[in-house]
Every structure is written in C-alpha cells, then in structure tokens.
Homo-oligomer: A and B are copies of this chain.
Amino acid sequence: MEKINVRKRILSANERYALKNSELLAQRKQLCLNMISSPGSGKTTLLARTCSELNTEIRIGVVEGDIQTDIDAERIRATNAPAVQINTDGACHLSAAQVSSALDQLPLDDLDMIFIENVGNLVCPGAFELGEHGKIVVLSVAEGDDKPIKYPGIFAKSMVLLVSKIDLLDGGHVDFDLDRVKTDARRLNKGVEIIPVSAKTGEGMAQWYDWLREKTRQTRA
C-alpha cells in the first residue's frame, strides 16, 4: 500500500505542475512546444536559426534543458531571443516543476510563443508532460532510418517530426531512406506532420516556419 502511495505522489506532482503550466499558457494564448530528440540531432541549431529568422514576426522565448552547462541558452541568447537554462544535474528529462519555474523567469509579456528544448534523450522525456501544447521530435539523418520503429513512443506522440541535417543526404554521406521514415512514422502516428530540414543550408525551413506561423495564429485566436 505504501509503495502505491509513494508512486501516486510523484506522478501527481508532475501532473499538477503540468496542469499549472498549461493553464497559464491557455490564459495567455501562448503556444508552447516541447522539442525532444537524441543528443546531437541539432535541436539548438534549429532553434537558433528559427529565432533569428522569425524574430520580426514571432517573438520566441526558449527554455533550455541540459544535464549540465548553459552553452545552449547562450547560443539562443546570441540571437537576441530570451532563454532560461535549466540544469537537471544528472536527470534524464525535464520536469513540469522545472518548466514552471523557467516560465516565471521568461519575459512572457514580450513573447508570442515558447519552445522547451528537452534533455537530449529519445526515451524518457516523452513520458513526462510539461503542460505544452505539443511535442516536436527531431531525428537527424545521421542517426539512421530505423529510429521510428526502434523508439516508437516519442514518434507516436509528436505533432511534428523534423528530419534534420538533410544536407548530409546530398552526395550520399549517410544511408538514410526518408520514405521509410515517413511510412514508419505515419504508421505510428497518422496525423504527424513530417518536415525535412537543414538548419545549415536552410532547405525546408520555410515549410517549418509556415507550420509554426499557423500554429501560433491558431493558439492566439
């Protein structure tokens, strides 16, 4: 019995904060997206380019989750977007309580939307709701095209799949079958939006920005 109580208390703490975050965001009509991927898929580079290129039309704030260091928040701040760094100090995912405290530190009145960049981990972050409107999973072509079937959880739950680093496909530097990924991801998640992008060359970014504009507009409406 005591075991069950302990577990219930932990779950409801995260859920309570997730609810608090989602209520705050709903009240303010601010879109909030939880970005999840393996380490090194290029989340921060994607976000930095997105902040730079959209800052005159969509004011973006970022919550950066990392086990250690604040280099990701620094990279976002270099684009003039506000960023709050959370260090989980060994923990493998962000909690809703950490996000709640980060939202308190962001200048929300000056923002249209918020990205949460979760700890680099394709498994655990997907299991913890943060109060976001939706999840974005990023898969770099260097990671291989078998990832949707090997790590189905996060692909099944995400609004958008950004297939990143597609510049590496030119010249056949990596073996990656984009059609296989699309088929496997849609088998797990019929409605998932799949956008191949390169934050290096800019390819595909316009489609990503269109999706983001529309989603921000819907949330504001």
Residues of A within 8 A of B (CB): 2-3, 6, 38-42, 66-69, 71, 90, 92, 119-124, 140, 142-144, 146-147, 149-153, 165, 167-168, 171, 173-174
- 13 more A-B contacts (CB under 8 A) besides A39-B144, A90-B153? A6-B6, A38-B39, A38-B143, A39-B143, A68-B149, A68-B150, A71-B146, A71-B149, A120-B123, A124-B124, A140-B142, A167-B173, A168-B173
**Cα distance, A209 to B92, chains bound together (Å):** 32
Min Cβ gap A34→B in Å is 17
**Cα distance, A174 to B124, chains bound together (Å):** 27
A71-B150, A152-B67 given; A122·B123 CB < 8 A: no
Q: Report chain B residues within 8 Å CB of A152.
A: 67-68
Q: Select A150's contact among B120, B124, B171, beta carbons within 8 Å.
A: B120
**Cα distance, A142 to B171, chains bound together (Å):** 16
- Majority SS at the chain A contact face: loop
Min Cβ gap A43→B in Å is 11
Q: Report chain B residues within 8 Å CB of A6.
A: 2-3, 6
18 residue pairs bridging A and B, Cβ less than 8 Å apart: A2-B2, A3-B6, A38-B38, A38-B120, A38-B143, A39-B122, A39-B147, A40-B140, A67-B123, A67-B152, A69-B146, A71-B146, A71-B150, A90-B153, A92-B124, A119-B123, A121-B122, A124-B124
A40, A42, A152 pick with most chain B CB within 10 angstroms:
A40
**Cα distance, A174 to B151, chains bound together (Å):** 25
Q: Report chain B residues within 8 Å CB of A165.
A: 142
Please name the residue on chain B nearest to A42 by beta carbon.
B144
Q: Report chain B residues within 8 Å CB of A142.
A: 40, 140, 142-143, 165, 168, 174
**Cα distance, A145 to B185, chains bound together (Å):** 29
**Cα distance, A71 to B71, chains bound together (Å):** 36
Please name the residue on chain B nearest to A66 by beta carbon.
B150
